[in-house]
Amino acid sequence: MKKLLFLFCLVGFISKAQKPNIIFILTDDMGYGDLSYMGSPVNHTPNIDKLSRMGTVYNRAYAGSAVCTPSRACLLTGKFPLRYDIQWAFTDNDEFLPVEEFNLSKALKKKDYTTAHIGKWHLGGVRIKDFEARQAGKKANPGPHEQGFDHYLVNIEDPIVRKDLIRNRLLYREGGKTMVRNDVKAPHQVGNWETIKVDEAINFMSSTKKPFFLNLWFDTPHTPYEPIEPFVEEFEKLGATGDQLLYRSMIKHLDLQIGRITAYLEENNLLENTLIIFSSDNGAAFQSSSGPFIGHKTDLHNGGIRVPFFVVWEGKIPRNGYSYQQLHFADILPSICDGLNIETPTNLDGQSLWSQWTGKPIIAHETMFWQIDNVNAGYQGLGKRPQPSATYAAQKGNWKLLANEKEPLALYDIENEYREGNNQIEKNKEIADQLWKELSVFINAPRRGWKSVVGKI
């Protein structure tokens, strides 16, 4: 009995000592077909491909929305973004993610993790007047610190700053001039904004002595399309021109930066104790590729919400894995918390897929929901928006319903007809009615957004 008790204590000690570092690598507007491991015919991404082979690739992964902000809120909180009345990308004005909510960073801080957010934020609170107010001890919209991050480096997300960088196509080449670090405007830094992020990430990882959670959120391949040397000449020789040429140079540069992260982990013997998640905030936009699907960013067909996704943890998650498990961004928080034995609220929308991540059988997924506003604000694809143009979607198993607030519009069997061209809403009316019933409950559920707490912070 004493021997068994000793072994039990030893196992517990090893488990605690090996509490994993966690890195979430998020790209922006990267489509299902943008990477060579997913079959891209134009992009060669050997570093991302190598990292994906260290773990398991999920080919049925869905972002939290077809646009940026809602997806980011979803993956941090484990809830569908409509719960916070986040229906569209924030405009860098008064919007913010309610700070009272349970989120992944706060949960990990309570478990003695050091937390950092580096890169694009888009969840509010990093306008000039916000961080200057916090410096002065005045009220301000919550930013990364208030959302549970010990350290952060972001680009100033202020209409007078970001819009000019994007309009003049200088976000990547001059983004180092408009940064804020831990509520203080950072000194100007020369170099590509994505390179600066990785420099900061490596400095953070090398300086912390505790397990860390690193949110590394890239802007690539979001517009503006910019020439990233020395890769432009390489793709010119292959016949690329215009924005497609610039887009390919940006993907190549991103791949090298992610290679730097992998190399750092390998050189410092951190890979065996680091959980890495890779994905994109929504589907393809403009020059990006939706792969075999129809739809792009701002659209609820597969091309707007189905994204590249893989998970890596040496010795815990199968290498060279390929999974057909359905996965929604809302599942990320409960999955990580389950793996680390962290208690979560009972009102999360996501479900834990931890057992499946670590090699167990596929888990039947509960109904997934999406919502998007402003569908007429502009389709971010190169052709016409696919029809019907929906503001809501619900998916259960292989059945997906598209709808607006008043009525269901289309029903697709997405496993057998993934391009969503055969509307079966009349042929399978019972299925459509059931999904519409569930979707109606979701639409009419109470919401607690930033507007409800304005003046209370």
pLDDT, tens digit, 9 for 90 and up, residues 370-381: 999 976 678 999
Q: Which of 1-15, 176-190, 399-413 has the lowest mean pLDDT?
A: 1-15
Contacts within 8 Å (CB) and 24+ apart, 13-19: 18/273, 19/111, 19/113, 19/211, 19/340
Whether 11 has a pLDDT exceeding 70, the answer reads no
Domain tally, the chain: 2
Q: Are residues 343 and 381 in the same domain?
A: no
Q: Are residues 107 and 235 in the same domain?
A: yes
| 87's tokens | 């229906």
Whether 77 has a pLDDT exceeding 90, the answer reads yes
CATH of the domain at 440: 3.30.1120.10
**Residues 296-304, mean pLDDT to the nearest whole number:** 97
CATH of the domain at 134: 3.40.720.10
Q: Are residues 318 and 436 in the same domain?
A: no
What is the residue type of 218? Answer: F
In a domain, 13, yes or no: no
- What strand order describes the sheet that includes 21-27? 184-185, 179-181, 151-155, 114-119, 212-217, 21-27, 274-280, 309-312, 56-62, 321-328
Q: What is the pLDDT of residues 423-443, one digit of tens each?
A: 999 999 999 999 999 999 999
pLDDT for 100 equals 86
**Residues 104-123, mean pLDDT to the nearest whole number:** 98
In a domain, 11, yes or no: no
pLDDT for 296 equals 97
Query: What's this model's pTM, rounded to 2 decimal places?
Result: 0.95
With 0-12 / 13-18 / 19 or more C-beta atoms within 10 angstroms meaning exposed / middle / buried, residue 36 is middle
Whether 292 has a pLDDT exceeding 80, the answer reads yes
Q: Are residues 298 and 402 in the same domain?
A: no
Q: Are residues 168 and 107 in the same domain?
A: yes
Q: Which of 333, 362, 391 is the last residue of a domain?
A: 362
Whether 454 has a pLDDT exceeding 80, the answer reads no
Q: Are residues 216 and 290 in the same domain?
A: yes
In a domain, 10, yes or no: no
Q: Are residues 297 and 411 in the same domain?
A: no
Q: How confident is the model at residue 453 (pLDDT cuts 50, 70, 90)?
A: low
Q: Are residues 327 and 436 in the same domain?
A: no
Q: Which of 320, 336, 362 is the last residue of a domain?
A: 362
In a domain, 3, yes or no: no
Contact 69, 333 (CB under 8 A): no
- Give backbone dihedrals phi and psi of 24, rounded to 5 degrees, phi first: -110, 110
Higher pLDDT, 38 or 382: 38
Share of the chain above pLDDT 90, in %: 90
Q: Are residues 118 and 238 in the same domain?
A: yes
Whether 353 has a pLDDT exceeding 60, the answer reads yes
pLDDT for 376 equals 66
**Residues 113-137, mean pLDDT to the nearest whole number:** 97
Indicate the average pLDDT of the chain: 94
**Residues 325-336, mean pLDDT to the nearest whole number:** 98
pLDDT for 101 equals 87
Q: Which domain holds residue 246?
A: 20-362
In a domain, 331, yes or no: yes
Q: Are residues 252 and 385 in the same domain?
A: no
Q: Are residues 346 and 406 in the same domain?
A: no
pLDDT for 356 equals 98
Q: Which of 362, 395, 413 is the last residue of a domain?
A: 362
Q: Are residues 25 and 139 in the same domain?
A: yes
In a domain, 206, yes or no: yes
Q: What is the pLDDT of residues 172-217, one digit of tens each?
A: 999 999 999 999 999 999 999 999 999 999 999 999 999 999 999 9
**Cβ-count burial 194-207 (b if 16+ within 10 Å, e if not):** bbbbbbbbbebbee
pLDDT for 12 equals 33
In a domain, 70, yes or no: yes
**Residues 243-260, mean pLDDT to the nearest whole number:** 98
Whether 9 has a pLDDT exceeding 60, the answer reads no
